[in-house]
Chain A
C-alpha cells in the first residue's frame, strides 16, 4: 500500500514538474550592474520549414513520461511534409 502511495506521489510530482514553465526575472540590484550587453542572434535554419501538426497528448494529460512517450511515437509515425515543396523558400 505504502509503495503504491509513493509511486502515485512520484507520478503526480513528475506531472507537475513537466507542466512547469519557468521565467527568470531581473531585480533592481541586478539592473544597476548591467553596464554592457553583447547580443548574439542565432538562426540555424537555411530555409523556411513546414510545421507538422504535433501530437499534444502530453500537454492535455498534464505531462509525464507515458504521455510524452505516446507523443514521440505519434510524431515518429506521422507522415512528413514533402521536402520537395520547400527548396523554393530558401532564406540563406
Chain B
C-alpha cells in the first residue's frame, strides 16, 4: 500500500489542533518512536510553555471488517508558572505521567466497505486498488479523531468551539 499515514496524521493534527486558539501552537513535529530518554530530550529542547503529545495507533478489527484509530493525548507543563500552578514544580522527574495537566484516550472506529466479507477473504478484497478502501477509512477515521481531540481539548478548557 503506497501510503504515508504518519504524514497524513500530522497534517490532520496540525490543521485541527492548530486552530485551538488558547493553545497558541508553535511547532508540530512527528516522532516515530519516543522512549522516556527521547521524550526528556524533546521536553528540554522545547521553548514552549506546554508540550502536547498525541500518540496514535491504528489497527484492523479482529474480523477485518473495520478499522480502529486510537489517540492518547497528554499535556505536560513546561513553564515555571504552570509547573507551580499544577503542583509539579518540586518534582525531579518533569516528564513523569503524574505531571500531566491533561489526559485523554480517544478512539474512532470505521466500518470497511466489504459487502459482508470477513477474515482472509476481506483482506483480499481490501488489497484491491492499492488498498483504496483502507486508505479512505484511515483518512476519515483520522479526521474524526482530530475533531474529537479538538473538541475534548476545548471542553477541558471550558470552551465550546475554537
Chain A interface residues toward B at CB < 8 A = 21-31, 33-45, 48-53, 81, 85-86, 88-92
Contact = CB atoms under 8 A, between A and B. Distances in A.
B1 A41 contact: no
A20 B52 CA distance: 23
A85 B123 CA distance: 7
Contacts of B17: 39
Contacts of A89: 1, 60, 126-127, 131, 134
Interface residues of B, number: 68
A51 B157 contact: no
B120 interface: yes
Instruction: Tell me what chain B mostly uses at the interface: helix, strand, loop, or mixed.
Output: mixed
Contacts of B79: 33, 35
A33 B61 contact: no
Given A25-B156, A40-B42, A30 B85 contact: yes
Given A33-B79, A34-B82, A48 B134 contact: yes
A13 B13 CA distance: 39
Interface of B: 1, 3-7, 9-10, 13-14, 17, 22-34, 42, 46-62, 64, 67-68, 75, 77, 79, 81-82, 85-86, 100-105, 120, 123, 126-127, 131, 134, 138, 156-158
Contacts of B62: 50-53, 81
A15 to B, nearest CB: 21
B23 A37 contact: yes
4 shortest interchain CB distances as A-B pairs: A91-B5, A36-B48, A92-B4, A42-B55
Given A25-B156, A40-B53, 11 more contacts: A26-B75, A37-B25, A37-B48, A39-B13, A39-B14, A40-B31, A41-B28, A49-B60, A81-B62, A88-B127, A89-B126
A44 B6 CA distance: 9
A37 B101 CA distance: 13
A40 B50 contact: no
A33 B82 contact: yes
Contact of A44 (B1, B32, B46): B32
A27 B89 CA distance: 17
Contacts of B13: 39, 41
